[in-house]
A and B are shown apart, each in its own frame.
Chain A
């Protein structure tokens, strides 16, 4: 048996994970694409079946939704884009990065220049062949001074993009970044067909597993199978129907009465009851979604690290996790890196509820009898106000008075978040440490919602970003998690599970991605009817 055959049969019998498989394939010198082909040919025990109309009930969607990738803003948009579009790279359901429209990529030794080889002969739904110009236009749509894109901040590190022939794209970065291929998997950065260096987004034409037949923003999208789909072993359904069902009860009823096959955001209060319904199963995945209480560290009293520590010790996380999420999540440790990230610092001690320590730090700060205002609204996350009320009670035992300000949901992100000194917030999280830290923790970063600046942290961030040695990077990221944990301006009580309700006949791989809801928003591509 050759090494290749051995690897294939190990995978087929489920003895190794997809990640180990890819690592093994790399070790015996297979390219990523032939490894994927090998994996598909080594039939797994549960071979996905083809066919059927897959109906999803999603708790998002607005009449203002658009095909324009610059303005994707909610879960309906992410589910839709991952159903009809492709990206250069893909975060797989085990959290690893695999090639999508890019066949392979190569960094320069300082990780500043990244060369992406594109897959050849991929056709858009309208028959146009995808080439380097399309990639350039698709990325540039989010760059430059006239862009309105939500992804502009992510692409800030890019200095220049150029093509090298029709199948090669070269990115030059301002600084080295070992995780750069992860960045281009962001849902905004879908590859659209282009004309004269501008993408044509109006018709929703992509290279993805399904073609958009109709899209009524805020109501419904209907897609049919792309018969030319290039990816092996994905895109099993004949038709996909996505319904926007914002009301939680309506969504759950739609599933229990068989109107839809899968729903997202099952209410944690009723998930126990849902699990008992015949023909319905519950699927939970722990990902990077976490809830935060960011303080403006530039203003008193939050500029004092002891006050910040006192507030961190003054919260009973277990109770909030139990009462707000009904246990469907994991405890947070005042840093944003989840257990599903590669370099999670597991040996960092879990911070507990300790009113005495909180009092000690208050005394040290000379701030006994502290009174602070906390702005909260359920726009941050469902149950944010309840969590804030519980926190207020916990803090009272440590001698801290929290004045709770109930803010309106409407306009929360423009009027409260990063405007009020202390508020409630959520982060969908990012697949890599560098992405998360660079977005919201680096000194002066666009979305640094605590306005926190720590020189040691910033130095490490830059060094780790360009470091290609895994062990050294791991050590740096562990230290950085410790710095945020002790010095950072954010209280992070918990990570929340994504909870989905599925009909019994919906099948999926053993691993379900946690980076976004619904298997990384790729359920239509990855799942099938058993």
Chain B
């Protein structure tokens, strides 16, 4: 167990270095984009002296390295700073949005993960049956269609024709949980359809892979039912790859759903990031990207720890 703790500590320290590297790369990338916040906000109405005054006010006239280290210093003390564009606290700006993103990701994950495991185990159980083929075709087609297409189909069917769900997910801080679940139903369904295939196929493949092992053959020879063989004997050994895929998909649900947010007008972090990049609002871009990076680092770490915990050979090495 102490080995795991050491590993977690090491990985967290490495993670911190990764974050600093990420922040530097993002800063440089945004700097490389043509124009800055003053020009982007003033747009067609920009005049040389208003742009200059804007830059002075935001200290954009300082050299890049000074701005970066100033930002880094504040960040290390836990101060995310303020948005350049509207002077709002970034923590406040991002807090609500990130909460929304997590809510939607959790909503989709609670539907998608059990569903994918269930369908995957069944597919392994009835391998090459009509059910197996049908579920493969359905999930693969949903993952192959772009998210916005899946989203529009759902809107046309469930919102426009049947009128069961609202076509836009208009939630705000005053929306209560039930209302929120109802309003975010279509985006959650869209995301479920997009991620199920990956997890379901991995569950099926890992189990089938194990079905050829001698110990499974032994279990079969003992006359155990197929269901028992798969759930009690094969599945525990298949967890490691399945967990990895599940975690990868969780990360996707958090960081990769910009398109779904746009189609359903859901106020998540993705839209915030896009707006901030197009306006070159560097502190907000940095904060959002770091949150995404932290999500990936922590989820990867979780996956590794869980893989070890589910594998006795890794838990108790000789």
Contacts and interface: CB of A to CB of B under 8 A. Distances in A.
Given A257-B163, A446-B47, A71 B41 contact: yes
A523 interface: no
A413 B46 contact: yes
Contacts of A145: 49, 53
Given A63-B284, A253-B168, A254-B265, A146 B46 contact: no
A420 B87 CA distance: 33
Q: Which of B37, B54, B265 has the most A CB atoms < 10 Å from its CB? A: B265
Contact of A148 (B42, B168, B264, B271): B42
B45 interface: yes
A57 B264 CA distance: 13
Among B45, B49, B168, B281, max chain A CB count under 10 A is at B45
B35 A149 contact: no
Interface string A412-437: 01110100000001000000000000
A16 interface: no
Interface string A490-503: 00000000000000
A217 B34 CA distance: 24
A53 B35 CA distance: 40
Interface stretch (B7-15, B152-160, B296-304): B152-160
Interface stretch (B119-127, B131-139, B272-280): B272-280
A245 interface: yes
Interface in B148-170: 152, 155, 159-160, 163, 166-168, 170
B42 A150 contact: yes
B311 interface: no
A249 B263 contact: yes
B5 to A, nearest CB: 40
B172 A150 contact: no
Contact of B170 (A66, A73, A220, A425): A220
Interface string B56-68: 1100000000000
B168 A414 contact: no
Contact of A73 (B34, B43, B173): B43
B265 A66 contact: no
B87 A66 contact: yes
Interface string B73-90: 000000000010111100
A487 to B, nearest CB: 24
A73 B45 contact: yes
Contacts of A216: 96, 172, 267
Interface string A361-393: 000000000000000000000000000000000
Contacts of B93: 63, 217
Contact of A447 (B44, B167, B272): B44
Contacts of B172: 214, 216, 219-220, 222
A219 B39 contact: no
A67 B167 CA distance: 29
B86 A247 contact: no
Contacts of A438: none
Nearest to A218: B275
Contact of B152 (A249, A257, A446): A249
Contacts of B144: none
Contacts of A68: 86-87
B275 to A, nearest CB: 4
Interface in B85-131: 85-88, 93, 96
Nearest to B39: A414
A413 B262 contact: no
A266 interface: no
Contacts of B87: 66, 68, 202
A410 interface: yes
B38 interface: yes
Nearest to A66: B86
B161 to A, nearest CB: 10
A281 to B, nearest CB: 18
Most buried by B among A62, A68, A148, A150: A148
B260 to A, nearest CB: 11
B40 interface: yes
Nearest to B266: A219
Contacts of B279: 62, 64
Given A62-B275, A64-B86, A247-B263, 12 more contacts: A63-B275, A63-B276, A65-B86, A71-B86, A73-B43, A148-B53, A216-B172, A218-B272, A253-B168, A256-B160, A414-B34, A447-B44
Interface of B: 33-35, 37-47, 49-51, 53-54, 56-57, 83, 85-88, 93, 96, 152, 155, 159-160, 163, 166-168, 170, 172-173, 262-265, 267, 271-272, 275-276, 278-279, 281, 284
